[in-house]
Amino acid sequence: MDQQEGVILVTTSLSPTSSEETRALIEADHGLILAELEQNIKEAGPYYIGKGKLEELKDLIHKLEADLVIVNDDLKGFQLRNLERELEIQVMDRTHLILDIFASRAKTKHAKLQVALAQLQYGKSRLIGSYSLSKAAGGIGTRGPGEQKLELDRRKIDSQIHQMEERLKKINKQRKQQLKQREKSHLPVISFVGYTNAGKSTIMNRLLGEESDKQVFVKDMVFATLDTSLRSVNLLDKRPVILADTVGFVSHLPDSLMKAFQSTLDELKNSSALIHVLDGQSENLQRDYKETLKILKTLDLLDIPRLTVFNKVDHPSIRPQVILPRPDHPLYYSAYYDPVEKLEKEILKVLGDQWVHEEIRFSFQDQDLLSQALKKYPQADVTYDAEGSVLKGDFLKEDWKRWRRDQG
Ligand SMILES: Nc1nc2c(ncn2[C@@H]2O[C@H](COP(=O)(O)OP(=O)(O)OP(=O)(O)O)[C@@H](O)[C@H]2O)c(=O)[nH]1
Ligand SMILES: [Mg+2]
């Protein structure tokens, strides 16, 4: 939505989520909710809602001078068109709403392209819905100009989709290359996952330090973050890791969006640990938790060690609801008030035994190796003697083994 538009929200017993979540999405898209209409239906008809409700909706649109109707469910192409024809104003379904928010938030080329592709795929599926319906109803040889136009539109969209997929492939290839480069540094990657607006970016900024120029974008709105931001940081001042902030989840993320953001989401697979951040003040904590786990499962990420942070527990009187089954590593936390060390210690626990505290000797022939080591671990102590140098500090086991092996 470009400016604040008056919205009537329609929720039925078939809607996949509560109207509350959709209200938050509408507000995030700058909509002003004028009224909410509910209906108990068993099956969606040609207008999705029943005839009686449709009349009620029409009256309400006139009375409140609404600009837009949003249906809290996914509509078929023909339902969408039937509704728009009957109501004479724009009708949006849930997927369209989420895509709209993503489109207004996307900033980088990669995010913009992923969203544009999802929008095209959405548009295409709505056209096909109507096309196949008219064919079924009319039979062969009775296609009117309307259907021909749809067929044309569909072909046009197909070619646009193809072009975009090619461009996206190119960008993804470049990103993979960058990822490989990063993997060479052998630093553990820790990725933030969880519901949108839970506080992932805020926590990441705490870990980066308030003064840091590496800070990421934080805002009290859904889908503030769309692109992955990677930042290196030393946990407890001496253990280097890479933090990855990424797009937040919402229940029933549209398929087209999941597909378009596949490459962004796939990057999560390279993580050594996940930090699942929840809004501890949420009234739907169990739902937020389950939905994120469901997405993690779809993305095949459940085997990665995970820290579950119940964030926004700003005061002892705030008691997050009990989550069942209980997560392996829970942490009750406030990104506003708690010391960051509390979080760092828990992250290191979840990462497990990846570091050793060791002393390692580098002979005079191995000074190249020593300078590499110092570049990666600038905080280690180095002392020199007649035979070379000794480096002392916390190292990743892999590095430590490699240095011992590579010594001449
Ligand atoms: N009260 C309270 N608010 C917090 C806390 N942590 C974060 N917030 C607020 O929650 C809102 C969302 O924070 P973000 O860090 O942008 O959330 P996010 O999970 O990155 O959200 P997306 O990028 O949209 O997925 C902001 O207004 C933060 O200031 C906390 O510990 N306590
Ligand atoms: Mg964020």
Output the CATH code of domain 186-351.
Answer: 3.40.50.300
What local confidence, expressed as pLDDT, does residue 230 receive?
87
Round to whole Å and give the CA distance between 333 and 312.
6
Asked whether residue 135 carries a pLDDT value surpassing 80, the answer given is: no
Asked whether residue 293 carries a pLDDT value surpassing 80, the answer given is: yes
Residue 352's pLDDT band, with cuts at 50, 70 and 90, is: confident
Q: Is the CB of 229 under 6 A from ligand 1?
A: no
In the CATH hierarchy, which top-level class contains the domain 5-103? alpha beta
202, 261, 315: residue to mutate for ligand 1 pocket, most atoms within 8 A of CB: 202
Asked whether residue 405 carries a pLDDT value surpassing 90, the answer given is: no
On the question of a common fold for 5-103 and 186-351, the answer reads: yes
pLDDT per position as a tens digit, 204-228: 999 999 777 888 888 888 888 888 8
Asked whether residue 140 carries a pLDDT value surpassing 60, the answer given is: no
Average pLDDT of the segment spanning 116-122: 89
Question: Residue ranges of the domains in the chain?
Answer: 5-103, 107-128+135-181, 186-351, 355-406
Backbone angles phi, psi at 193, to 5 degrees: -135, 165
104, 107, 201: residue to mutate for ligand 1 pocket, most atoms within 8 A of CB: 201
Taking CA atoms only, the protein residue closest to ligand 1 atom 11 is 220
What local confidence, expressed as pLDDT, does residue 2 receive?
66
Q: Is the CB of 228 under 6 A from ligand 1?
A: no
Residue 250 CA to ligand 1 center (angstroms) comes to 15
pLDDT per position as a tens digit, 51-103: 999 999 999 999 999 999 999 999 998 999 999 999 999 999 999 999 988 88
Residue 336 CA to ligand 1 center (angstroms) comes to 9
Q: Is the CB of 208 under 6 A from ligand 1?
A: no
